[in-house]
């Protein structure tokens, strides 16, 4: 039998695997506040669904709590937590951020979670850790409105803060390499025309993203997630991640259009809303359409972002089954 690792490696080489790889991921609210519980929930989800890779999804605050933010679980359908305390309250605060070491309590807890998962996961199942871009972290340190205002009114102060965040995050990535991860899931949230101009992102995003990604360049399974609409998709060329994931059903480019300019692996094809509100037949139809767009080559079936925690189990399993029902056609390169 083809292993998950072998299937993904064939996909990355542009070869036609025995079937289309699939990877869905979700948050585990409440459980994500303790490394042992997050590890257990992640492993149980994988045991149930048998995806081709495991994307470890901690709360976004895991990398921020050592700076003093606070958040709470209030039932968001995506499984995310609401921030109740920011630590950036004036432009001067950006310059006061201390450097974080991976031994800081909450960062160390996430590293412990990775070690637990890796020790209990099939060694032939790849695992990737979520890493948020410096701008994405800055948003939650300050609130998005303050971040954007300070970025334009006090750019030097914000840049100093972003440099501290980037250096701290690069150290965390270096430490994560030792846990046995196969790649990182690099979450970029501000490469959207509605938030920043191309010039602004080139200044405040790109150099710091590249700094964070540098320690992961030796890994074989890095996935770039471009969050939101009207994204600057050309970042995939600069960042050299093997896989790109975005809301392909909701914004340019489509899966088919992306193949014209990106030679790597695309991941997506199913709307979040489809996973939540549609029936299993519609989930399968959307999955099959995605595989038809890509001809099953250099493609991983997934959603444009996390699977909401309210998604029916039957829909998740329908997505999983869809790659099995098209396995023969995919192997032959048929549409």
Going by their DSSP bridges, the two strands 70-72 and 82-85 should be labelled as antiparallel
Task: Round to whole Å and give the CA distance between 47 and 273.
Answer: 24
Q: What does the longest C-alpha to C-alpha distance in the chain come to? A: 60
Note whether 33 and 27 are within 8 A (CB).
Answer: no
Reported pTM: 0.97
Whether residue 104 is contained in a domain is answered as: yes
Task: Round to whole Å and give the CA distance between 13 and 259.
Answer: 15
Whether residue 171 is contained in a domain is answered as: yes
Whether residue 240 is contained in a domain is answered as: yes
* Segments forming the whole domain that contains residue 193: 23-264
The angle at the Cα of 105, spanning 102 to 106, to the nearest 5 degrees, equals: 85
Angstrom distances, CA of residue 254 to CA of 231, 234, 249: 12, 14, 7
DSSP reduced 3-state for 225: strand
Task: Round to whole Å and give the CA distance between 8 and 6.
Answer: 6
Task: Round to whole Å and give the CA distance between 67 and 47.
Answer: 35
Whats the size of the chain, residue-wise?
Answer: 335
DSSP string, 36-74: HHHHHHHHHHHHHH--SSEEE---GGGGTGGGT-EEE--
Whether residue 331 is contained in a domain is answered as: no
Task: Round to whole Å and give the CA distance between 163 and 37.
Answer: 32
pLDDT at 328: 52
Note whether 233 and 257 are within 8 A (CB).
Answer: no
Structure tokens at 331: 């192997």
Angstrom distances, CA of residue 267 to CA of 3, 10, 55, 76, 90: 19, 15, 13, 24, 39
Whether residue 102 is contained in a domain is answered as: yes
The C-alpha R_g of the chain, in whole angstroms, comes to: 19
Structure tokens at 185: 């899931």
Per the structure, how many domains does the chain have? Answer: 1
Give the DSSP letter of residue 31. Answer: G
Residue ranges of E strands in the chain: 54-56, 70-72, 82-85, 127-132, 183-188, 223-226, 243-246, 265-270, 299-303
Whether residue 63 is contained in a domain is answered as: yes
Whether residue 272 is contained in a domain is answered as: no
Task: Round to whole Å and give the CA distance between 44 and 46.
Answer: 5
Task: Round to whole Å and give the CA distance between 310 and 293.
Answer: 28
DSSP reduced 3-state for 327: helix
Cis peptide before 253 (omega within 30 of 0): yes
Task: Round to whole Å and give the CA distance between 40 and 107.
Answer: 18
Q: Which residues of the chain have pLDDT under 50?
A: 330-335
Whether residue 279 is contained in a domain is answered as: no
Rounding to the nearest 10 degrees, give the CA dihedral for residues 180, 16, 316, 324: -120
CATH number at residue 168: 3.20.20.210
Structure tokens at 77: 């359908």
pLDDT at 261: 86
pLDDT at 1: 79
pLDDT at 326: 80
């Amino acid at each position: 039998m083809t292993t998950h690792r072998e299937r993904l490696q064939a996909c990355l080489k542009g070869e036609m695997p025995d079937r289309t790889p699939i990877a869905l991921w979700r948050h585990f609210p409440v459980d994500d506040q303790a490394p042992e519980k997050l590890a257990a929930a992640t492993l149980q989800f994988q045991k149930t669904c048998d995806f081709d890779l495991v994307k470890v999804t901690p709360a976004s605050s895991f990398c921020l709590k050592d700076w003093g933010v606070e958040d709470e679980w209030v039932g968001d359908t995506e499984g995310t937590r609401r921030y109740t305390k920011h630590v950036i309250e004036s432009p001067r605060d950006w310059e006061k951020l201390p450097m974080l070491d991976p031994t800081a309590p909450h960062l160390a807890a996430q590293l412990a979670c990775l070690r637990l998962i890796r020790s209990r996961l099939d060694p032939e199942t790849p695992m990737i850790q979520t890493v948020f871009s410096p701008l994405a972290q800055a948003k939650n340190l300050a609130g998005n409105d303050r971040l954007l205002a300070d970025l334009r009114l006090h750019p030097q102060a914000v840049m100093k803060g972003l440099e501290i965040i980037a250096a701290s995050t690069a150290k965390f990535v270096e430490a994560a390499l030792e846990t046995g991860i196969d790649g990182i899931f690099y979450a970029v949230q501000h490469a959207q025309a509605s938030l920043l101009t191309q010039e602004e992102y080139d200044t405040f995003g790109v150099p710091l993203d590249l700094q964070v990604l540098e320690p992961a360049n030796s890994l074989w399974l890095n996935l770039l997630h471009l969050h939101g609409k009207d994204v600057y998709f050309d970042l995939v060329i600069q960042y050299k991640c093997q896989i790109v994931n975005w809301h392909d059903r909701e914004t340019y480019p489509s899966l088919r259009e992306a193949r014209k300019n990106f030679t790597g692996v695309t991941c997506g094809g199913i709307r979040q809303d489809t996973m939540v509100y549609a029936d299993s037949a519609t989930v399968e139809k959307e999955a099959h359409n995605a595989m038809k767009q890509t001809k099953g080559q250099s493609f991983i079936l997934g959603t444009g972002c996390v699977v909401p925690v309210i998604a029916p189990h039957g829909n998740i399993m329908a997505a999983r089954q869809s790659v099995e029902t098209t396995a023969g056609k995919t192997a032959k390169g048929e549409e």
